[in-house]
Amino acid sequence: MTTNPCAVLSVEEEQNILARIHDPRIPSAEVNVRDFGAVGDGVTLDTQAIQRAIAYLHRQGGGRVIVPAGRYLTGSLALLSNINLHLDSPQSVLLFTTETTEAHYPLAFGHWECSPLWNYRALIYACDAQNIALTGRGVLDGQASDSVWWHWTHQIEHAWSTSARNLQRPASLRLREMNLNGVPVAERRFGDGHYLRPMFIQTLRCQNVLLEGVTLRNSPMWQVNPVMCRNVTIRRMTLRSHGHNNDGVDPESCCDVLIEDNLFDSGDDCIAIKSGRDRDGREANIPCENIIIRNNRFADGHGGIALGSEMSGGIRNVFAVGNEFDSPALTYPLRLKANALRGGVIENIWLRHSRVKRVRDAVVHATMNYAEGVYGSHLPRFRNIVIEDLEASGGEYGLFIEGLAQSPIEGLVLKDIRITDVDHPLHAAHWGSGVKMENVTINGLAYPRPVQLFIRGLPQVGDYLRAIAQLPGDDEAVLHYSWWLGKTAEGPMTPLGEGDILALTPTMAGRFVRCRVNHGEMSLLSKPWLIQPEGSIDLASGNSVNAGILRARG
């Protein structure tokens, strides 16, 4: 069996997931929305005509509802079982009305940032349906802008919003409290006057879902949000929307999902895998699992592929293969985010054959200290994460990967990685057992190598200095420490001794001490410390000398 370096997942398991994913089986019957009264002139409201066509064909057993060339002004549309809404031409445009009221976006059960509620129905909506599809070569334009939907919140990327009032915030905080307090979903009613923007496409508790070929633009909120669905395919779509929270594809507590050959250009995360939030997510306890993400292109976005942070039900078995990331505005190609308030486990993740041409902040950014951070009673866990065959250039960090002291990252494997031209090669914190680095180079330096060498203690005669270094991806017991003494900060130095602790003797007063840590041929040298006479640093009496004075600046 071919396995990944962590020996947790396999190519065979990936193929097993793919074998279960298939397009919905929809009858071949067809109707044309024009035959049900749709005009397509961009002025006449065609909502009822399109919905009549969907309902009629559904009653007949299903088939394709054809939307021919034209600009069809519409409100929210509900897909029903065995229906494929097909935009037949590149000139087939669904233009969603800018009259943002319940008259056009009626109140319906849905999820908003992973909390169930009653709110504006998504622009394209389905609930408890089977065998549904949205396909074709046309465009769905949500018509969100600085004066429609987006002005309900604000984001700093847009000059128009820097001083705008966040109308959405009171309702979003109220929903969060309802979640934490276990308020029944039937009592969570929003809509007009509450400013919680609807999703563009939301399918809830559906089976056999296909989204293929169409272009989405100007979304009010998240663009594609399947919730608790099974067997979902999102293929060859173009998702362009730069409003606040305009995530591209957000599978939430779904099973068996294929996301392939799409173009993402987003105002938030391009793909964000989620599984419920806070109390709601923990009580539902439905993971998002068995996800294949392959051959996609990522332009702008906060994260290319993000896992979390709404992941209280857990995320597992994610295969990301052959994806390309290229934009100076893309913050993180791979992003894992969690905290102790939301909890959850991210496990069995295999990212391979990735190409990152340009990036803004970090090639890989993983943190358990997101948003509320450690302030909570539900510690998250990251385990069995493999990043393999990755090439990248540019950004502030190469790898930024941190767990929590109470919850270190386990089973992290970094293999065949080459990153160049970053400001800071590696930030590593709270890496636990089973961590390995193999054939990793960042800015031309090979890893594992010692990083973050700290000197603890008071640099005065009669005291001790202790060296503490971190060796990511290996056993720190193999580190070798040596101490060096010199008359000047930058001049030649002679060896003092070995080991991580150095006793400071009278002969060292007025001289400079450095520590070197070695791992094979890899080494790291501390800055020089000026050793003070005995008694010159008295912490108890408050006359201690500032460490910035004690340490020479080279």
Amino acid 497 reads G
DSSP category for residue 87: E
Cα 208 to Cα 226: distance, rounded to the nearest angstrom: 11
Catalytic residue numbers?
268, 302
Find how far residue 148's CA is from the centre of its chain: 27
101-139 burial, b at 16+ Cβ within 10 Å, e below that, comes to ebebbeebbbbbbbbbbbbbbbbbbbbebbbbbbbbebb
- The DSSP-derived string for 235-271 is ES-EEEE-STT--SB--BS-EEEEEES-EEEESS-SE
- Count, residues in the chain: 554
Q: Work out whether strand 139-141 and strand 215-217 pair parallel, antiparallel, or are unpaired.
A: parallel
DSSP category for residue 350: E
3-state secondary structure of 78: strand
CA distances from 212 to 84, 136, 181, 238 (A): 11, 7, 39, 9
Beta strands in 68-178 (DSSP E): 70-74, 77-78, 83-87, 92-96, 107-112, 115-120, 124-127, 130-136, 139-141
Cα 254 to Cα 239: distance, rounded to the nearest angstrom: 20
Please give the structure tokens belonging to residue 327. 């934009």
- The DSSP-derived string for 506-527 is GGGTTSEEEEEEEETTEEEEPP
CA distances from 204 to 109, 125, 329, 356, 397 (A): 9, 8, 32, 33, 38
Please say whether the beta carbons of 304 and 333 come within 8 A: yes
Please give the structure tokens belonging to residue 189. 């009613």
Longest alpha-carbon distance in the chain: 98
CB atoms within 10 A of CB 202: 27
Please say whether the beta carbons of 338 and 311 come within 8 A: yes
